Amino acid sequence: MEREVVDNADLAHFAEIGLVIFVIVFVLILVRVVFMKKDYSEEMKQKPLDDGVSRERGDRKEAEA
Please state the pTM of the whole predicted model: 0.56
* Residue 62 pLDDT level (bands cut at 50, 70, 90): low
pLDDT, tens digit, 9 for 90 and up, residues 2-55: 788 777 777 888 889 999 999 999 999 999 999 999 998 888 888 887 777 766
- Quick one: pLDDT at residue 54? 63
* Residue 57 pLDDT level (bands cut at 50, 70, 90): low
The CA-atom distances, in angstroms, between 27 and each of 22, 37, 46 are 9, 18, 26
Residue 27 CA from chain centroid, whole number: 12
- Quick one: pLDDT at residue 56? 62
Distance, CA of 61 to CA of 50 (rounded, Å)? 11
